[in-house]
Amino acid sequence: MIWGLTLEPGKNYTRIMGDEIQLSMASLETRDEFGSDPHPNYTQVILTTKRSEYLLCTLAHGTAFQQNLDLRLRPSETVTFSVQGKSE
pLDDT one-digit tens code per residue, 8-43: 888 999 999 888 888 999 988 776 654 555 555 788
User: Residue 26: its pLDDT value, please?
Assistant: 92
What average pLDDT does range 48-77 have in this prediction?
Answer: 91
Identify the pLDDT of residue 78: 94
- For the chain, helix (H) and strand (E) counts, in that order, are 0, 6
pLDDT in tens, 66-77: 999 999 988 999
Mean pLDDT, range 48-65, rounded to an integer: 90
Name the residue ranges covered by the structural domains of the chain: 13-85
Return the closest-CA partner of residue 66 out of 76, 79, 57: 57
Alpha carbon 23 to its chain centroid, in Å, reads 9
Those residues with Cβ within 8 angstroms of residue 68's Cβ, 6 or more apart along the chain or in another chain: 24, 25
Q: What is the pLDDT of residue 30?
A: 72
**Among the four given CATH numbers 3.40.250.10, 3.40.50.2300, 2.60.120.340, 1.10.4160.10, the one describing domain 13-85:** 2.60.120.340
Count of alpha carbons within 13 angstroms of residue 84, beta-carbon side: 10
Q: What is the pTM of this model?
A: 0.79
